[in-house]
């Protein structure tokens, strides 16, 4: 009987290990890609918001009772990649409200995982100005909260921003 060569079949354990490692590596890659996708976002503090649903509904009723309105106009993006905005805060009779504080949380709908936060500064009368590092076209959401005279008003505006003629995204 011939002696068995001990080097034959040495690669089979390595093949089994490789077959087990391929799905692990693929799943790791997919998890990394999914967790770093700027177009995907989970609502921040969603449980806290669900618990505070009654408070949210009371704020919506207060918003309707106040009758305030915020109009938002976007300027032309600058060379620094920031877009200036002018917000107009108006009361029920469309008279300007001066001296308010307006907080802004903005996001591009296509990149909802990237929140931009700022506070608008008074720009004269009912005008409040702010700028954000937004240079791309597309739909954006602006969650705005105005405080004035002990009152709080909140609204969410959706606006499509367009690139100026002759520019590329």
Quote the CA–CA distance of 140 and 12 in Å, as a whole number. Answer: 55
Averaged pLDDT score across all residues of the chain = 87
DSSP letter string over the chain? -PPPPTTTTTHHHHHHHHHHHHHHHHHHHHHHHHHT-TT--PPTTHHHHHHTHHHHHHHHHHHHHHT-EEEEEE----TTS-EEEEEEEE-TTS-B--S-EEEEEEEETTEEEEEEEEEEEE-STTEEEEEES--S-EEEEEEEEEEETTEEEEEEEEEEE-PPTT---
pLDDT of residue 153: 97
CATH assignment of 46-161, among 3.90.1580.10, 2.60.40.10, 2.60.40.1080, 2.60.40.1180: 2.60.40.10
Q: Which whole number is the average pLDDT over 14-37?
A: 90
> Do residues 105 and 113 touch, judged by C-beta distance below 8 A?
no
pLDDT single digits (tens) 41-87? 777 888 998 999 999 999 999 999 999 999 999 988 888 888 999 99
Kindly tell me if the per-residue pLDDT of 114 is higher than 90: no
Give the pLDDT band (50/70/90) at residue 125. confident
pLDDT of residue 36: 80
What are the sequence ranges of the domains in the chain?
A: 10-40, 46-161
pLDDT of residue 4: 57
């Amino acid at each position: 009987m011939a002696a068995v060569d001990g080097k034959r079949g040495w690669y089979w354990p390595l093949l089994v290990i490789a077959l087990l490692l391929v799905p692990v590596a693929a799943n790791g890659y997919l998890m990394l890609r999914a967790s770093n996708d700027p177009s995907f976002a989970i609502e921040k503090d969603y449980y806290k918001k669900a618990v505070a649903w009654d408070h949210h509904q009371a704020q919506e009723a207060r918003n309707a009772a106040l009758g305030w309105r915020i109009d938002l106009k976007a300027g032309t993006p600058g060379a620094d990649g920031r877009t200036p905005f002018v917000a107009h805060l108006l009361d029920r009779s469309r008279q300007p409200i001066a001296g308010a504080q307006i907080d802004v949380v903005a996001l591009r709908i296509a990149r909802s995982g990237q929140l931009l936060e700022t506070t608008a500064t008074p720009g004269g009368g009912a005008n409040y100005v702010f700028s954000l590092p937004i240079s791309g076209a597309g739909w954006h959401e602006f969650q705005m909260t105005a405080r004035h005279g002990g009152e709080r008003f909140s609204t969410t505006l959706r606006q499509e921003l367009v690139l100026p003629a002759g520019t590329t995204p």
